[in-house]
Structure formats: C-alpha cells, structure tokens
Amino acid sequence: MNELNELKDDWQKMTGSYKSGTELLKMTKINNHPTFKKLRLKLLIEVISISALLLVYYDAFDGDRKPLYANLLLVISMVLYIITGILGYRSMQNPVEGPDLKTSLRNNLSRVIGLSKYAMLFSLLYTVCLLIFFTSTIHFTKEKAFLLLGLIIILSQLLLWSYRIWRNRIKNLERQATDLESPENI
Amino acid sequence: MEKAFLHAIQDNQKIIFKVCKIYRNSKEDQEDLFQEIVYQLWKSYPQFRAASKLSTWIYRIALNTAMAVYRKAAIPINYYPEIPGQHANPENIDTEKEAKLFYALRQLNDADKAIIALYLDDFSYQEIAAITGITGNHAGVRLNRIKNKLKQIIK
C-alpha cells in the first residue's frame, strides 16, 4: 500500500516544462497542428494531381478516341476519390464523439470502419476505372499484356498497403474499446 | 472566450502533460499529443458547462484524444527486467522517481492507464465511472486489479 501511496504522491507532485499562453494559443489553430499538417499536405497533393489529371486527360490521353463509358467512369471515380479524401480528413479532426470514453471509442470505431469501407471501395474503383480507360482501345500484344500485368501488381500492392493502414487503425480502436469494456478486466 | 480558455488550460496543463507522458513514449510524440489535446479542448470548450469540474472535462477530452488518435506503430521497446535505477534514463525523464512511476504505468493497457491516472489524481469511483463510461462498481473492482498489477511491477 505504501508503494501505491508513494506513486500517488509522485503523480500529484509531478512537474514539467509547461507552456506559455502564447504557445497554448498557437495550439488552438488547426494550421499549426502537426498531425493534420501532414494529412493536409497529403490530401492537397492528391487533390491537385487528380484535378490536374481531370483537366488534361481528355487532350493528353486521347479522351475523344476512348468510349464514352470509359470517360464517364474515370471522371466519376476521380471525383468520388477526392470527396472521400476530403470527408476522411474532416472526420479525423473529431476523435472525441461522446459524453464518456466508452461511448466515444465505440462511436469513433463505427465511424472509422464506415470510412475505411468507402475509402477502400473508391480507391479500388478509381484504380479499375483508370485501367479501363487506358486499356479500352488498346490492341493487346504479348508485351502490352505483360506491361498491364505489372501495372496491376503495383496498383494491387498500393491498395493492399492502404488496406493494412486502415486495418491497423481499426484494430487499435477495437483493442481500446474492448480493454475498457471487457468483463475479463473486471 | 479565448482568454478564459487559455487561463483554464494554463492552470490545468499539468493534467495534459501527465496524460501525454503516460500514453506516449518519446518526447516528440508527447509534444504532438499535447498539441492535439489542446486543439480538441479548444473545439469542445463552447460545450463545456461550468456545472462539471474543469479537471473532469480536461481529463475526459485528454484521455479520449490520447486513446482515439491514431499513432504511428511504436518501435518495440525492450522493457528493463528491473525497475530503472539512477543510471537508467532512456527518455530523459527528469527524476528517478518519475522514471519508476512511468516505467510501471506504461506497462498497463490503455484503458487501465486512464482509470489509474484518474485514481492517482484523487477522482472518486463515481467520477471515474462518469468519465470512462463504466459503472462505479466496475471501476472499483478494476482499480483493485490495477493496483495489484502495479504492486507486482514495482516490487
């Protein structure tokens, strides 16, 4: 018991390098946020590159010579991909979603699961539509088929990598929620 | 509102500091989490009702943020087989006592860390229950388990 009282004493007396009012004020602005800065940059790069592709693809990649369905699929999948990215970024800004830890973790978990499904689905859709667009008028030779296979393998790896990130995020939240609720911990 | 918020946080930043230290290992991750918590507190400040204790609200948001925010996969840490002594100070922890304290606390799971942090700051079972969402009874039984675990660790 003495050891625990000592721990309590140390915990309550703990000192640290505390922040000034100016430093705290800076922290209330999302622009100074370290995690969101990285996420924002990633999102910005994606939005700019996909928007640029959207603007130039028709002339640069002979959109007029491709079938209408290939053009439509590509544009729709690009727009959906961008929208999911923006919604995901906005959603990550609100990890606190309930009156207590248990409720908040459960709500957060449901939200992240939903978000991961849409993100994976639209990433897959974008990838498939991109392949459909570029292969819709190709006359396949053996070399071109191998090239396509290589491209499919690379894109599948990227999707798998994205899936693993989401899975780890969900697993982490599930573990937190279970640790808090589990009867084994009673 | 900004002034009142900054005043409230400045007076209670010890809570945020402790939550960061218990949930993150490296200085850099602790600083990032500190910033994240202050941002989340600022966002939820308009909903804060003075009827509840300021420290209760800060703890609720801080623990919630620490547990829910996605973190990079941690580099596996080989815990010392014994409690750190005077010369074992891998994270620039200020004192030997603090090193012992965090050595013990960081071996608990995230949910137990939340419960013990509140207990160490003298929150009642009912207050712990309100913050975590478990029942008061559950909190009491669970705290006994955590205390036993801690005793084993610091023996």
Query: 92-121 in B: which are within 8 Å (CB) of A?
Result: 94, 97-98, 100-101, 104, 109-112, 114, 117, 119-121
Residue whose entry in the numeric block shows the structure tokens 């300021």: B54
pLDDT per residue of chain B (155 residues) written in tens, 0 to 9: 788 899 899 889 999 999 999 999 888 899 999 999 999 999 999 888 776 789 999 999 999 999 987 665 555 444 444 444 444 444 554 577 788 888 889 999 999 999 999 999 999 999 999 999 999 888 999 999 999 998 888 77
Nearest CA in chain A to B63: A101
Instruction: Confirm or reject contact between B66 and chain A (CB < 8 A).
Output: no
Q: Which secondary-structure segment (H or E) carries B87?
A: none
Partners of A27 on chain B (C-beta within 8 Å) are 34-35, 38-39, 42
Using CB atoms within 10 A of its CB, is residue A54 exposed (0-12), middle (13-18) or buried (19+)? middle
Domain at B1-77, CATH class: mainly alpha
pLDDT on residue B79: 46
Query: 74-93 in A: which are within 8 Å (CB) of B?
Result: 92
CA distance B47 to A77: 39
User: Count of CB atoms within 10 A of residue A167's CB?
Assistant: 12
Nearest CA in chain A to B48: A99
Q: Does the beta-carbon distance from A25 to B2 stay under 8 Å? A: yes
Angle at B89 (CA atoms; ends B88, B94), nearest 5 degrees: 135
Instruction: Confirm or reject contact between A8 and chain B (CB < 8 A).
Output: yes
Using CB atoms within 10 A of its CB, is residue B154 exposed (0-12), middle (13-18) or buried (19+)? middle
Look up residue A155 and give its amino acid: L
B94-to-A3, A6, A13, B90, B133 alpha-carbon distances in Å: 20, 17, 13, 11, 34
Q: Is the domain defined by B93-155 classed in CATH 1.10.10? A: yes
Q: Domain coordinates of chain A in residue numbers?
A: 31-179
CA distance A21 to B6: 6
Q: Name the segment(s) of chain B with CATH classification 1.10.1740.10.
A: 1-77
Q: Are A89 and A117 in contact (CB under 8 A)?
A: no
Q: Does the beta-carbon distance from B68 to A176 stay under 8 Å? A: yes
CB neighbours of A178 closer than 8 A, spacing ≥ 6? none
Partners of A8 on chain B (C-beta within 8 Å) are 119-120, 122
